[in-house]
């Protein structure tokens, strides 16, 4: 789903830059003789890389910011000269966000709340008609100005910046998402059906890592922390 969301984010961003949506009327890739838009992707995980990939495909000028140098090196290797990678510091985020035409918030922390890397002050400083697409919205958003929207009314304008913060972005391309989800879950479903939940969880650490709740107790550390309740070790839980 992260792959879908990352790719969707660019077509949502391109659409939001149109005049009718309140954007400044820029084409992501520009045209001959006219500069392309500057796209800044905050977060270099699966969503961020897929967003960068589509933005590069549309010939925008793309920067990815992350604080994991190894991740950035992989991105450099994959996209070469077509991308600029920047080590994440508060100063770097501010510099690039203020200069951006389209910001993709792709800071996802598994299970936890997204850190607010893009402050309201930065948003105030952004250009009129620029756009923020906050993929992290399902975890609270990584911009202080993000609040969830729907596919029916996907955007709002705050401080003259268009915000696209649709919760469940992959729902817009339900056909593609359904196939993707089936592919990802089919092996687990077969295991659950063949072996029953107990054995399936015991046999497969990946499946076990996805266990959020067991008999009323939270077994996923990040979820527990986000809710400020104690977490139970999932291995112990299923063994009980």
Binding interface with a copy of itself (CB under 8 A): 3-4, 7-8, 11, 14-15, 17-20, 24-36, 50, 53-54, 56-61, 67, 69, 72-73, 76-78, 80-82, 84-87, 89, 129, 151-152, 171-177, 179-180, 182-184, 186-187
CB of 199 to a copy of itself, least distance (A): 21
Nearer to a copy of itself, 31 or 216 (CB): 31
Percent of the chain that is helix, strand, coil (3-state, to 5): 50, 20, 35
In the complex with a copy of itself, which residue's Cβ is closer, 29 or 140?
29
Rank residues 71 and 116 by Cβ distance to a copy of itself and give the closer one.
Answer: 71
Do the Cβ atoms of 101 and 125 come closer than 8 Å?
no
Q: Whose Cβ is closer to a copy of itself: residue 24's or residue 237's?
A: 24
State which residue, 34 or 215, has the beta carbon closest to a copy of itself.
34
User: C-beta of 118: minimal distance to a copy of itself in Å?
Assistant: 19
- What is the distance between the alpha carbons of residues 191 and 176, in angstroms, rounded to a whole number? 24
From CA 20, how far away is CA 131, in angstroms rounded? 13
- CB of 43 vs a copy of itself, minimal distance in Å: 14
Nearest approach, Cβ of residue 160 and a copy of itself (Å): 14
Closer residue to a copy of itself, CB minimum distance, 92 or 223: 92
Cβ 67 to a copy of itself shortest distance, Å: 8
Helix (H, G, I), strand (E, B) or coil at 163: strand
Element (H, E) at 131: strand 131-134
The dihedrals phi and psi of 6, each to the nearest 5 degrees, come to -60, -45
Q: What is the b/e burial string over 126-137, where b = at least 16 CB atoms within 10 angstroms of the residue's CB?
A: beebbbbbbbbb
Question: CB of 51 within 8 A of CB of 108?
Answer: no
What minimum distance in Å lies between the beta carbon of 237 and a copy of itself? 27
Are the C-beta atoms of 207 and 195 separated by less than 8 Å? Answer: no
């Amino acid at each position: 789903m992260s792959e879908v969301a990352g790719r969707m984010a660019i077509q949502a961003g391109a659409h939001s830059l149109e005049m009718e949506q309140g954007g400044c009327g820029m084409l992501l890739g520009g045209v001959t003789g006219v500069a392309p838009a500057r796209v800044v992707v905050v977060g270099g995980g699966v969503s961020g890389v897929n967003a960068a990939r589509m933005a590069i495909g549309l010939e925008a000028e793309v920067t990815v910011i992350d604080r994991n140098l190894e991740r950035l090196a992989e991105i450099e290797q994959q996209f070469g000269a077509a991308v600029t990678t920047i080590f994440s510091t508060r100063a770097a985020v501010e510099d690039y966000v203020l200069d951006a035409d389209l910001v993709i918030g792709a800071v996802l922390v598994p299970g936890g709340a997204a850190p607010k890397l893009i402050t309201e002050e930065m948003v105030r400083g952004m250009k009129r008609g620029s756009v923020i697409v906050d993929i992290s919205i399902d975890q609270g958003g990584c911009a202080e100005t993000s609040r969830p929207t729907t596919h029916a009314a996907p955007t709002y304008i705050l401080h003259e910046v268009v915000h696209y913060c649709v919760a469940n972005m992959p729902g817009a391309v339900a056909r593609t998402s359904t196939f993707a989800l089936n592919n990802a879950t089919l092996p687990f479903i077969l295991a659950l059906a063949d072996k029953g939940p107990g054995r399936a969880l015991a046999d497969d650490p990946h499946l076990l890592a996805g266990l959020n709740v067991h008999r009323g107790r939270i077994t996923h550390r990040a979820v527990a922390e986000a809710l400020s309740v104690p977490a139970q070790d999932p291995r112990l839980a299923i063994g009980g």
